């Protein structure tokens, strides 16, 4: 084989490798986006959308942008939950195993709207659905563990007594929540269960932080429902 032929073969090999990597990245991005949207919608019982998902196959970095969960009908805010950005890193060697391992996962700038209308809270509808159905809908053969899960720069808007207007509205900032060892090694949690962990942690923080700033009567219903929400260890089938 001549030197020119060798160069052509080498270039062809490079092109094939690049094309294969690009195709694999595209598939991983599409698969990740579809999985996140599907499982979030099933877990919470609400329509869900995602702007973009990116998975870097060589480094294991994962990024999601523009996650939006619709508010139930009859509530004012157009979205109940907005999550502009999620960043994480997956251990690539775990992708072929039943339990996928994340070294870290950071949820940035989460915004949550909690409302009551005609004696019913949007959070009541979502938590009822999660307890009855949502926590069971994941793939039991595909689970995750997360060494460190961080919720950073979140804000929760409370509108629990609409007849009082602005006087009963409160925005509660949450600078940071840090959870360690989400999911047991070798067992893990289904994705809807991870969503439940995040939701429960944020709601517990809201109740704690709002307790001194808003009358207890306005928080009592929310507190009772949060306390009744199953912890991760209780999230298996009934």
Give the single-character DSSP code of 71.
Answer: P
Query: Looking at residue 142, what is its pLDDT?
Result: 79
Give the single-character DSSP code of 231.
Answer: P
Q: How far apart are CA 159 and CA 182, in angstroms?
A: 31
pLDDT tens readout for residues 83-128:
999 999 988 888 778 888 999 999 999 999 999 888 788 998 999 9
Which residues is 82 bridged to in the sheet?
68, 111
Query: Half-sphere exposure of 110 toward its Cβ, with a 13 Å CA cutoff?
Result: 26
Band of residue 18 on the pLDDT scale cut at 50, 70, 90 = very low
Q: What is the end-to-end Cα distance of the chain in Å, rounded?
A: 68
Residue 228 has pLDDT above 90, yes or no: no
pLDDT tens readout for residues 123-146:
989 999 988 888 887 777 778 899
Which residues is 62 bridged to in the sheet?
55, 88
Residue 107 near residue 152 (C-beta atoms within 8 A): yes
pLDDT tens readout for residues 169-219:
889 999 999 999 998 888 889 888 999 899 989 998 988 887 766 667 667
Query: Looking at residue 126, what is its pLDDT?
Result: 92
Residue 48 near residue 67 (C-beta atoms within 8 A): yes
Residue 23 has pLDDT above 90, yes or no: no
Other Cβ atoms less than 10 A from the Cβ of 196: the count is 25
């Amino acid at each position: 084989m001549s030197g020119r032929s060798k160069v052509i073969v080498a270039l062809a090999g490079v092109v094939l490798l690049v094309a294969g990597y690009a195709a694999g990245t595209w598939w991983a991005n599409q698969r990740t986006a579809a999985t996140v949207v599907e499982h979030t919608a099933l877990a919470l019982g609400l329509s869900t959308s995602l702007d973009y998902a990116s998975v870097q196959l060589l480094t294991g970095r994962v990024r999601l942008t523009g996650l939006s969960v619709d508010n139930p009908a009859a509530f004012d805010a157009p979205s109940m939950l907005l999550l502009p950005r999620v960043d994480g890193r997956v251990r690539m060697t775990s992708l072929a195993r039943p339990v996928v391992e994340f070294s870290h996962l950071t949820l940035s700038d989460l915004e949550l709207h909690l409302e009551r209308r005609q004696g019913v809270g949007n959070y009541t509808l979502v938590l009822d659905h999660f307890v009855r159905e949502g926590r069971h809908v994941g793939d039991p053969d595909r689970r995750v563990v997360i060494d460190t899960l961080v919720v950073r720069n979140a804000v929760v808007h409370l509108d629990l007594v609409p007849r009082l207007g602005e006087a009963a509205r409160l925005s509660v900032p949450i600078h940071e929540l840090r959870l360690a060892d989400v999911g047991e090694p070798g067992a893990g949690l289904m994705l809807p269960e991870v969503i439940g962990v995040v939701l429960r942690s944020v709601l517990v923080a809201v109740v704690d932080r709002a307790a001194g700033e808003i009358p207890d009567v306005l928080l009592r219903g929310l507190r009772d429902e949060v306390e009744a929400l199953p912890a991760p260890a209780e999230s298996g089938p009934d």
